[in-house]
Chains A and B, each alone.
Chain A
Amino acid sequence: MNHHPTDTTLNELLDQALDSSTYDQVQSHLEQCADCRTRLEALRFVFNALTEVTEQPLALDLVPGVLSRLPVRQPQILWRLALAMQSGVALGLLLAISSQLTQFAHTTDWGNLVRIELTKASLTFSGLIQSLSLPRLLLQWPVITIPTLELPVVRLPGFSVPAFSISPASLIALVLAVGLLWLAGNLILLHPRHKRGSKR
């Protein structure tokens, strides 16, 4: 290398970022060029000077301050437990009413559930329009009958649960209650504690 290496090259030399051929060229130039050696030494001085910056002792334990500012994180295990319980309740309810649902599906005449009739009707507007014929929608609302749930005797080792029935009203109330509990449970779990205003 006949020309003087640039500042960039000298920096890369000290950072050991030069490829081997460039490194050799620069080294051979430095052996011959006192000016470049001086430049390199000035740069090397900065490297050495920076190693003299000493570590400072930390006078304060940061742990209490950090812990007091940590957001509360819900453990994942609680999530899994809640999800498993909710899935179990939903599955149990589905199984309990499955036979009634099947029966309902088989015995219902779906074609006659909704019947729409178009008729003509007269609407009277005071003054301007004496009469106007418009089609009128008549909707016959389907009547869905929820049968009473008859639960059989459940025999388990040591004890048995007697047969009992659940009325349609009770069943609807039960489904609504479970749904509301499910929503409320999710809201409580999803909402971070620090946003609920708890202070430690």
Chain B
Amino acid sequence: MAPADDRDLARRAASGDRHAFSELVRRHQSVVYNVAYRLLGERGEAQDAAQETFLRAYRYLASYDPDKPLAPWLKRIATNLCYDRLKQAPSTPSLDEEAVRPPPDPQPGPEAQTIQRERGERVHQEMLLLPPRYRVVIELRHFQNLSYAEMAEALKRPLSDVKSDLFRARKRLAERLKDLQ
């Protein structure tokens, strides 16, 4: 039997089918977790935010349009949830030890691969040092590929504000990452 698609699973979950919802969680948990991890920078907190995202999604399943793909909808919920958390504790830098030194790769690849991974971690660290409102626009534009208008809609903020934040965030990142150029 062919596996059910997200649309079918979402319909069944909306009518109370917990098994269908658990399948949706299984499929999308990694994507949602990565959104939370990029924004929060701490594994435990990101796992908790990802769980909370699915609970919020379950609550609002009735408002989900099944004709649209599910993953962007979930990512948007995760982004807003993390943004809310960051706004509540904006002074706490979201940078934990794990973010600085991730667990060692059991099978280290070639040197170039290691260097690239370290560069990626460094970029992520610098992203985590941005103010929440800058961080969230970087996430929406560069990792979720939303247009300016979609970002403004997702964040419920004026288009001009969103663009201004995005450009300032990039400028700040460029300054911080000068040594990598």
Which chain A residues have a beta carbon within 8 Å of chain B's beta carbons? 7-8, 11, 15, 17, 42-43, 45-47, 49-63, 65-67, 69-71, 73-77
Contacts and interface: CB of A to CB of B under 8 A. Distances in A.
A43 B178 CA distance: 11
A80 B117 CA distance: 56
Contacts of A66: 21-22, 25, 51, 54-55, 58
9 contacts: A7-B167, A50-B142, A53-B123, A58-B30, A58-B33, A62-B29, A66-B51, A67-B22, A75-B16
Given A50-B123, A62-B54, A56 B37 contact: yes
B6 to A, nearest CB: 16
Contacts of B54: 62, 66
Interface residues of B, number: 46
Contact of B34 (A46, A55, A70, A71): A55
Interface of B: 15-16, 18, 21-22, 25-26, 29-30, 33-34, 37-38, 43, 47, 50-51, 54-55, 58-59, 102, 116-117, 119-121, 123-124, 127, 138, 141-143, 147-148, 163, 166-167, 170-171, 173-174, 177, 180-181
Contact of B123 (A49, A60, A67): A49
Chain B at the A interface: mostly helix, strand, loop or mixed?
A: helix
B138 to A, nearest CB: 7
Contacts of A58: 29-30, 33-34, 47, 50
B55 A69 contact: yes
Contact of A62 (B16, B33, B138): B33
A53 B173 CA distance: 13
B18 A49 contact: no
Contacts of B123: 49-50, 52-53
A70 B143 CA distance: 29
A111 B112 CA distance: 102
Nearest to A65: B51
B34 A56 contact: yes
A62 B34 CA distance: 13
A61 B26 CA distance: 8
Contact of B38 (A53, A57, A60, A63): A53
A47 B169 CA distance: 12
Given A58-B30, A62-B33, 13 more contacts: A8-B163, A11-B163, A11-B166, A45-B177, A49-B180, A53-B38, A55-B30, A56-B43, A62-B29, A63-B22, A65-B51, A66-B21, A67-B18
A60 B22 CA distance: 14
